[in-house]
Amino acid sequence: YIDNEIYTEEAETQGSVTSLPTTQKGWTYSEYGSKDVLKFEDIPMPEVKPDEVLVKVQAAALNPVDSKRMSGKFKNTDSELPHVPGYDVAGVVVKVGSDVTKFKEGDEVYADVSEAPLNNPRQVGSLAQFTAVEEKLLVIKPANLSFAEAASLPLAVLTAQEALDRAGLTEGQTIFINGGAGGVGSLAIQLAKNVYGASQVTTTASTGKLEFVKSLGADKVIDYKNEKFEEVSEKYDVVLDCVGECAKCVKIVKEGGAVIALTGALEPPGVRFVVTSNGESLARLTPYLESGKVKPIIDPKGPFKFSELVEAFEYLDTGRATGKIVVAPI
Ligand code: NDP
């Protein structure tokens, strides 16, 4: 019931932007709640502002913020309902706004579509057949990545990168990453080791995921099911908490070192930031993605079909994903 053919056929016969459909299929919710509020419906095509690009979505990915936002946690700063959820997208440019200079029809692109995830994020996100994206957020997809792989990256990799930048991680330093198997952690390990040149990366994971995080470049792994990481004798230059255990994380940072906590209650000197989507920041990673120094990690339960979004959210909410939950093809 998801008709991907309509657009292709019309484009072939008419050969211009006038061939774009007037409605599309997308997942929406018009009240806050759990996955049960999600509906799959016909929705209008997004409006394309002068500085925006219309993307035919090929793949999308989920992040914990999708679920938290849908629950109403950020309703005071959220955009108006109804929403199409989804921050991460990869797809093909089908139309460009009048001020757009960097992209043209046919370009394969990817992005986190909301510049600020909690503050007036896009009403129409990536879980629809078409989504509009500001040019400044968009990057050409590295040719060696599939759409599903590219969609798995933006929000999580931008978070990992911004965290390491804010922590001031430099070559030769040591880092502890709490929660190495998740979306952000699995990319932070690779960035710390292969891009920032950390001399030692230590991380936590549950028993079944120890080998997985080692394969990403972790030098030491603490099995959090059997060991308390806050009791290790070693101290680190940088600690990144992807779990919500800041009070424990501050115990293992060196004096003058940095603790960045992405979620949960803060404990000094731990600090929080909220990721900003930015095409230039994402583009900095292109050479590392092309060379394979940083690899997208798609959770093996996926990619989920476009029709299986409710199941994908259910899985997201278990908090057990390995790498990223991807929805493709769309
Ligand atoms: P994920 O859903 O991908 O994290 C799931 C992973 O966390 C699983 O692999 C799980 O492994 C691991 N995990 C769960 N509990 C523990 C634990 N006690 N110790 C070690 N690992 C654990 O989440 P993300 O990586 O996408 O995001 C992490 C958090 O950061 C979320 O709360 C998210 O909202 C937040 N975030 C904040 C941002 C910001 O801008 N401030 C930006 C992005 C994310 P296992 O199965 O082995 O337990």
Which residue from 65, 75, 64, 62 is spatially nearest to 32, judged by alpha carbons? 75
Other C-beta atoms closer than 10 Å to the C-beta of 266 total 15
* Backbone dihedral angles phi then psi of residue 92, each to the nearest 5 degrees: -120, 135
CA atoms within 13 A on the CB side of 59: 25
CA of 321 to the centre of ligand 1 (A): 8
User: Is residue 264 within 8 Å of residue 246, measured between CB atoms?
Assistant: yes
Better-predicted residue by pLDDT, 213 or 233 = 213
Q: Closest residue (by CA) to atom 39 of ligand 1?
A: 274
165 contact partners, CB below 8 Å, separation of at least 6: none
Q: Could you tell me the two tokens for 286? A: 């292109």
**Percent of the chain scored above 70 by pLDDT?**
95
pLDDT tens figures, 66-106:
999 999 999 999 999 999 999 999 999 999 999 999 999 99
Q: Does the pLDDT value for residue 240 go beyond 90?
A: yes
Q: Closest residue (by CA) to atom 4 of ligand 1?
A: 182
Quick one: pLDDT band at residue 233, thresholds 50, 70, 90? confident
CA of 43 to the centre of ligand 1 (A): 32
Angle at 183 (CA atoms; ends 156, 213), nearest 5 degrees: 130
Q: Does the pLDDT value for residue 14 go beyond 70?
A: no
| Residue 11 pLDDT | 45
**Ligand 1 first shell, C-beta below 6 A:** 63-65, 156, 159, 178-179, 181-185, 204-206, 209, 224, 242-243, 262-263, 272, 274-275, 319-322
The length of the chain in residues reads: 330
User: Is residue 134 within 8 Å of residue 164, measured between CB atoms?
Assistant: no
Q: Does the pLDDT value for residue 13 go beyond 50?
A: no
Other C-beta atoms closer than 10 Å to the C-beta of 308 total 14
Q: Does the pLDDT value for residue 35 go beyond 80?
A: yes
Whole-angstrom Cα distance, residue 106 to residue 95? Answer: 9
Q: Could you tell me the two tokens for 196? A: 């920032």
CA of 265 to the centre of ligand 1 (A): 14
- Point out the ligand 1 atom lying closest to the alpha carbon of residue 275: 40
Q: Does the pLDDT value for residue 3 go beyond 90?
A: no
Mean pLDDT, range 174-188, rounded to an integer: 98
What's the predicted TM-score (pTM) here? 0.96
Helix (H), strand (E) at residue 14 = helix 5-14
| Residue 191 pLDDT | 98
Global ipTM: 0.99
Mean pLDDT, range 8-14, rounded to an integer: 45
CA of 320 to the centre of ligand 1 (A): 8
| Residue 124 pLDDT | 98
